[in-house]
Structure formats: structure tokens, C-alpha cells
Structure 1
Amino acid sequence: MKLHVIHYNDLHSHFDMWPRYMSFMKEHRTYDSLVFDLGDHADRVAPATEATQGKINTHLLNELSPTAVTIGNNEGITFPHDWLAELYSDATFPVLVSNLSAPFAKAGMIQELPTGKVGIFGLTAPYYELYELLGWSIENPFEAAAREIEALRDQVDVLICLSHLGFYQDEDLAERFPELDLIIGSHTHHVLDDGVVRNGVLIAQAGKHGQYAGEIYLNTDTGEKEAVLHPLESYPEDEATAVLLDKEQYLAERQMKQPIGRTSGLANDWFNPSPFTQLLADTMRDWCQADLACVPAGMLLGSLSPGPVSSYDLHRLCPHPINPCKVTMTGKELKQFIAEVDTNRFEQLKVRGLGFRGKLMGKMHYAGNRQHLDDAKHYTVVLPDMFTFGPLFPEIKEMPKEYFMPELLRDLLFDRLSEKSEFGELPIRKH
């Protein structure tokens, strides 16, 4: 059996590259090609994704007409439950996620081609605590994979896993399950120019943000497996796609630019005390009912001008899919944390990933009393959730914590600024 696959991953709503991808598709796709999107197509960093609750992404995928897609963590844990539940309601393609219990999530499928049968199933990264908080049930992906392989392997000529687990987890999949022929991956944004073979299983991944489209050729008769990446920057834009995209983005942004309130202006400076960041810190503390809130000025990308405020303004200045998280730590641990972040090194720290869409951390701002801390006493501290995932502060990852979801940091600002024209008391929302 000969098989031709086209794949694409981690667009993250970088829509400027989508017309080029559609141009590539029209040139390379044949009647029996399999086409897959590997998740994180949608990202709330884009105003159009925010305004349409991701429906613009589904509309674009409908135009692509993929064989199947899976979801990434950006769809899964940055979208509120009702957004995700409705995201694919008008999709014309199957959404394969074998380790998530959701109305749209389908188990493995068999695609019949003139030359044979292909089994396909999808897996997404299991952020257990976050999925549970959002009202979804997520399963260990390796257990789901074992179940799908047992169900599909004997019925098909080729078995494919669509993975949003990341390259290193894909390597583990290949080592555990040599019954797989192909793992098409995503999540870690690896650029695998020729693919990687582990335990006889080909692993492919195509970068991020529309850098590349991937092609895979399999021949089960000869055992040949070939993967190649095509840089998309050299492809012209598909005109019809560009027109559709411009229209959808214009309508979405116009909706977001409706005023929600007014301010006399809120300045922000990444390296000096700033009223805008201080407002965010105060709001986080009130919202989560904590002893202390800490947020760096780099979380806000600029200042808020005097006059009307819109959700478009707040999205532009705070685009991150980051939630507040309340952490319990001792006074001694809190002192150590403050000593670490009140440094030039932290202020200049450039971060990629973890939901952060800014440039650097900037000066830490606090709400609450951080003086005269008792080493043995326990304090509740509200932080951006990116601080709790491990890479920045490994010790915080193990501390007791409570995530506040689905509200993002900009949602707290929206609530604060939409109720009064100047600083005011924030009604504390019970969670």
C-alpha cells in the first residue's frame, strides 16, 4: 500500500500564514491524500479567535477539509468549557481525541482508500488538574493508545497516531507501541526535517506558526517511510482564502472594539512602579481572596490610554492565555521567592511558552503586605499560573495550589474596568 500524507501543526492562530498553506494544499493534494491538523490551530492570542470563541478557526478548517484533526492544549485548557463544547459544532471533519471525554471527541477511525485501509486515532496532552477544573475528563494517553491499537491494528494496513503530546512523549509512544507505523506530532514545535525513526516508527512534526507544511510517503510493500518539510514563506497566498480571512478578522475585531468603560489612563513601565500593573495585582488579590498577589509588569504589553476602554484594548495589552493561581507557601518560602524575583536578572528574563505572549518579565508588583513575614506561617499568594508549571520555579510546582478557571488575567481586568470608569472596589467573586 502506498500512502501520501500532508500535515500541519501549532498554527496558534497565526492567520497570516494560512493563505500560503492553502496555496500549498492546492498544489500538493491529490484525491487520495490524507490531510491532518495536529492541534493548537486556535490560540486566544488572536483577536479574531477571541471574538468568535474559536469559530473562525473551525471555519478555516472546514475550508481545508482535513481527513481528521486532534486538539491541543490551547483549545483544551485555555477555552472555557462552553467555548470548547461548541467549538466544533459546525465542523465538517472528525475531531479525534481518544483520551478526552467530550461530545465532539471521537475515538479511532478507519479511512478506506483504493489501495487499503488506514487506522487513525488522536491523543492530546493530559493536563489532568486543569481539564478537571474545566469540567472535562482526561485519560492517560498511553492507556488510550493501547486500547486503540488493540481495536484497530488487525483491521488496517497502516496505523497512524495524531499526537499533541510533544516529541519526547512521541518517542515513548514509539518505544512502547511498535505496532504503529506513523506518529504525526506537535506541541513541542520541533522541526523534524526528515522525520525521526524510533523502534521502526516514523515520527514527523512541522514546527509552529505556519513555518512549514509536512509531507509523508509510506510504502508498506517496500517498507519505505519518507518525511519532508516545505517552508511556506515561499508560497503565494491563495486569494480566496485571504479574502475570507480578511472579512472574518474585520468583523471580529469590530465587535471587540465596542467600549466597555472609560479610564483616565493607566501607564505601564516594565522596569518601574506602574499603575496599570498595580491595578492588575490588586484585582488578582481581591478576586482570589489571598494574602498577597504578585505579577510582573511585563505581563502587560503597554499602557492604557485615557478615554474609552474596549475588550480589544485589553486583549492587545494582555494577550496571554494565563489564569490566576493561588499558591500556599510558608513565610520562609515566600521570602525566598521575593528575593529571587526582585532582581535585575528576573526583570530581564525572556520567556517563551508557558502561555506567555510577551517579551520579558519586568518589575514585580505586589498587592498585600509582604513585610514582617513569619517564616513558619502559611500565606496564600496569587501568581500567574505560568509560575506554577515548573520550568521557572520548580519548587512552586510542588506547593498546594488552586487554579482559577476559566478566567484569564485580562478577564479580571475586563470585570474591573467595565464596572467603573476609575479605580473602584471589585466585587469579590466566589469560586
Structure 2
Amino acid sequence: METIHIYHTNDVHSHLDSWPRTRSYLQERRAFHEQHDEACLIVDIGDFIDRSNIFTEATLGKSSITLLNEANYDAVTIGNNEGITLAKEALNQLYTEAKFNVIVNNLKEPDGKIPTWAEPYHVYTLASGTKLGVVAATAPFPDYYNNLGWKIEDPFTRLHESIAQARKEADIIICLSHLGLHSDERLAEQERDVTLIFGSHTHHVLEHGKYINQTLLTGGGKYGRYIGHSIIHYDGMVQQVETELIDTTTLPPERGEHREVAAQQRYGEELLDVEVFETTRFYNKEWYHYSKLSHFFAEALLDFSGADCAFFNAGIFLTDMKKGPVTALDIHRMLPHPINACIFELNEAQLRDILAIIERAEEWPRRELRGLGFRGTVVGKMLTYHFKQQDGHILVNDKILAPGETVKVATLDMFTFGWFFPALKALPKTYLLPQFLRDILTIYGHKHFV
């Protein structure tokens, strides 16, 4: 009976405090299995990078590829943090030094060709001669990918094709899925030839996996808390599949791990410690009020977007903006979020609805928020600029907006997913990519002060 070991990580999001012990563990396990003539693969299921991390931001993710190389990964797929938080040129450069296969089958060039750094599937020939086929897909965000110059395709259609192709060459098929648990369940129902689906994106934790038909689903949470370990027992047919999660907090500390993580932080800080402009005054932040900083950012957002008015939350600002020289590091600490701006064309009734929702949502300012790209603490006060309700009318730049008349409204992409303003999810919108909020502020600061 052949035993195949597959170790997997997912949704690390550049949380690297436990990385030294994770790397050491993976290296030790590979050496152990090789000594015992057992096959071993190490894979990552996407969102390894997160540009809210200074080390990652300073290198546009390339530092993460070095880490994966050091841990001897065999294959990765991309998550949305690789796919839509990097400009196309940066993503095309991300894996130039990779010593592993990058597998994703639903991301294409506009002409339909797969990127030069990726492949739709890969077949690994193990020492025993058994062939292990690996397919992979990433979550489709067409508004983002299309804007960035990519073509993102339906993952289920492309996976069906890749599975059929890999099946001609491989004895066993596994899938690296950055699609989320619900999609993994659907995939398991549709594709009976897949032995294992390694899950991610929704940060779900499946301690011992979840069976759907003959397919075992895995999920290892987020932030490097767990390493997944799956085992396939094979003797010409798959006889048994099992999976477990290793809690990295229980692994023995790696000697010098704190120094290593601190050195990464210092390296990133040094690269970002470059002056971008010099202010003539101090700009304070406030989470529960308007502030000098929110006014300045509103000017930046309106200037960059060309919109008539804007709204955003005060909780995006994590620091004040000091008087004097301001560096890229200062701006990153202030606005670490991988959040983009976007524009809507809204009419009088739609603006009225937004104002009504804000007025009713008394609990929003102190609500703690995780996800949607937000890397702060609380939502903070919802701030509106250049539009208001007065005497029963909606005023934009102090002019009454007539029924049916539309204006351009700038906001943050975190408000387009339906959680805060449900109606915005279905409305046409234009994402302003690839710039993050910090880039928008930097561009305006350079224009304003230099």
C-alpha cells in the first residue's frame, strides 16, 4: 500500500509570526517521509500574501515567494490577494523566482491564453510511478480582473476541463481551490473524479475534513494558525483518505524566530522609508467625528475619481498625518488596507437611501470589523462629503438634485459587497484600480504639497 502525504497551508495573509516554525516543520516532515520512501507534497491554496503587511508591501509580494521557496513548496494557486491587489505587471513579476508550480486554470490573458507563469494543471510522477494530477482555480471577481487587464473565467467550467485532461494522465486527482467552502461542496457534487479538495478563501476550519460522496474537503482557517496534513492510501485504487490540522501554536518555537520576524519588519520599513511629500500642518484622525485628515482624504478621493460627492468611514485612518516630511511607511501605517475606491452613478432616491441607512445605523461606528479588505479596528463614523438632505431635498454641492438626475459618487469597494448598503451590490460600478486608498492619498499629497 502506497502512502502519499500532502501538507497544505491557506490564507496566511502575510501573518508571519509562526512562519519560522511552520517552515521548519515542513522541512522536517519532508525529510522524514523521504527517509521512509513515502511521497510528500507541500502546497499553498492562495492568499499567502497580504499587502497590509509592511514586508509584503515593500517587495510587492516577492518576499513571500522567497519564503515559499525556502520551505520547498511544490505547488501553489493564487487567491484574490495575489490576483486583484497587485497590478497586472506586478502579478506577472511575482513568480519569476518561484521554484514551485503555480497552478490556476481560470485566469487568462484577454486573448484567452494562460499567463506564462501559470499552468492549468500539473501531473507529478511520484517515486513509485504513481501519477498525481493537481488542478486549481481561484475565486472570480470579474469587475476587478477585467479592470486590471485579465480575463477571469467560470471556475467550474474550467475545472471540469482540467480534470478531464488530467484524468487522461494521472492516477489520482486533487484540487487546490481558492473558491470557498460552498463552492467546494458544489464541486465535490459535480466532479466525482476528485479525491481531495484543498479549501480556502472562506477561512473555514475542517479539523478532520468533510466528505461529500467520495471526495474529502479540507479547510485550514486563516493567518497561519494551522498546517493541513492529508494522507492518501493507494494501491492502484484510492483505499482511504484522511486529513488533520496541526496547530502551529503547539509546534516547538524555532530558535531565533522572533529576530527573524523582526528583521523582516525592519527590512520592509527601510524600503518604505522614502519621503513622498511634506505637509505644512498636522492632520488629526478621529474615528467618531469628521477630522482634518478625513477632509484631506475626501479632497484626494474626489480629485482622483472625478466624482461629485463621496462617502466613507472614519475607521480607515489608523494614525494621524504628521506635520513635515511624510514617508511611504507613514502612509502605509495610516492606511494599510488593500481597499480600492470605486464610482457609482446614483440618483436622488438612491442617495436618499444611503443617507437613511447611515442615520439608522447607530451601532456602526463602534462595530469591530474584520474582512472586506479592512485592516482597522472599528468601522467608525460614516462620513459624507458634498451631499446631504435638507428640507426634504437631496443637495449635491449645495444644489438640489432633481428626481431622475444622477451624479457620480465615490466610495470604498468594501461597501459594494452588500454588507452595509445592500442595493449597491447589484448596481453598475467602476473600480479604480490598481490604486489603494493610500496611493490615492499619496498622489494627492504630492500634487497638493510639492
TM, length-normalised to structure 2: 0.90
C-alpha contact (below 8 Å) 1:262/1:420 kept by paired residues: no
What's the counterpart of residue 101 of structure 2? 94
Taking the aligned partners of 2:416 and 2:232, their CA distance within structure 1 comes to: 42
Counterpart code for 1:8? T
C-alpha contact (below 8 Å) 2:27/2:72 kept by paired residues: no
* Alignment RMSD: 1.7
Taking the aligned partners of 2:329 and 2:293, their CA distance within structure 1 comes to: 16
Structure 1: where are the runs of 5+ without partners? 423-431
* Cα displacement string for residues 78-137 of structure 1 (whole angstroms, at most 9, x for unaligned residues): 111111110001111110011112221112111111231100111101111210100111
What's the counterpart of residue 104 of structure 1? 117
SS in 2 for 1:181: strand
Partner residue of 1:324 out of 341, 357, 360: 341
Alignment of 1:119-158 (within 5 A): 119-158=133-172
SS in 1 for 2:298: helix
Taking the aligned partners of 1:242 and 1:236, their CA distance within structure 2 comes to: 13
Alignment of 1:165-314 (within 5 A): 165-221=179-235, 223-239=239-255, 245-263=261-279, 264-314=281-331
Q: 1:147 to 1:240 in 2, by over 3 A?
A: farther
Structure with more of its chain in strand, by fraction = 2
Taking the aligned partners of 2:252 and 2:269, their CA distance within structure 1 comes to: 25
Taking the aligned partners of 1:189 and 1:260, their CA distance within structure 2 comes to: 36
Percent identity of paired positions between Structure 1 and Structure 2: 37
* Cα displacement string for residues 123-165 of structure 1 (whole angstroms, at most 9, x for unaligned residues): 1011112101001111111111111111111322210001100
Taking the aligned partners of 2:57 and 2:330, their CA distance within structure 1 comes to: 12
Give the drift of 1:251. Answer: 2.4
Partner residue of 2:53 out of 46, 61, 68: 46
TM, length-normalised to structure 1: 0.94
C-alpha contact (below 8 Å) 1:350/1:359 kept by paired residues: yes
C-alpha contact (below 8 Å) 1:12/1:42 kept by paired residues: yes
What's the counterpart of residue 425 of structure 1? none
Number of aligned positions between the proteins: 422
Alignment of 1:350-389 (within 5 A): 350-370=368-388, 371=395, 372-389=400-417
What's the counterpart of residue 431 of structure 2? 403
Taking the aligned partners of 1:150 and 1:280, their CA distance within structure 2 comes to: 51
* Cα displacement string for residues 192-242 of structure 1 (whole angstroms, at most 9, x for unaligned residues): 100001121001111110100110111134621111001101223434776
Taking the aligned partners of 1:139 and 1:411, their CA distance within structure 2 comes to: 29
Give the drift of 1:413. Answer: 0.7
What's the counterpart of residue 345 of structure 1? 363
Structure 2: where are the runs of 5+ without partners? 109-114, 389-394
Taking the aligned partners of 1:9 and 1:405, their CA distance within structure 2 comes to: 25
C-alpha contact (below 8 Å) 1:329/1:399 kept by paired residues: no
Taking the aligned partners of 1:161 and 1:387, their CA distance within structure 2 comes to: 32
* Cα displacement string for residues 252-289 of structure 1 (whole angstroms, at most 9, x for unaligned residues): 21121122222211101111121111211221112111
Partner residue of 2:441 out of 413, 416, 431: 413
What's the counterpart of residue 73 of structure 1? 80
What's the counterpart of residue 9 of structure 2? 8
C-alpha contact (below 8 Å) 1:298/1:362 kept by paired residues: yes
* Cα displacement string for residues 52-91 of structure 1 (whole angstroms, at most 9, x for unaligned residues): 1111101111111111000000010011111111000111
* Cα displacement string for residues 159-198 of structure 1 (whole angstroms, at most 9, x for unaligned residues): 0001100111000110000110010011110111000011
* Cα displacement string for residues 349-373 of structure 1 (whole angstroms, at most 9, x for unaligned residues): 3322111111221112233243244
Taking the aligned partners of 2:232 and 2:145, their CA distance within structure 1 comes to: 35
SS in 1 for 2:304: helix
What's the counterpart of residue 428 of structure 1? none
Taking the aligned partners of 1:243 and 1:363, their CA distance within structure 2 comes to: 38
